[in-house]
Amino acid sequence: MASAALVAVGATSAVAAPAPAGITLKANHASVKLGDVVTFTGRTTGLKEGSTVALQVKGGAT
């Protein structure tokens, strides 16, 4: 993610950096095996509709 700020002599306003995006997801299974179908539901903030997202595998319990 990139942010920008306005830097100019005599500028009276600045460009605010965008808020970070966030995703909250729930899966319909607590654990799965390779090939199992999983449905994710959730909410997003700071993302435009149709934005591409990538899920990453995280090992271990949180």
| pTM of the predicted protein model | 0.44
> How many whole angstroms separate alpha carbon 15 and alpha carbon 3?
9
What length is written for the chain? Answer: 62
Higher model confidence: residue 18 or residue 61? Answer: 18
Cβ-Cβ contacts under 8 Å for 47 (sequence gap 6 or more): 21, 23, 53
Domain boundaries, the chain: 18-56
Asked if residue 5 has pLDDT above 60, the reply is no
pLDDT in tens, 26-55: 989 988 888 999 998 988 888 888 888 887
Asked if residue 6 has pLDDT above 70, the reply is no
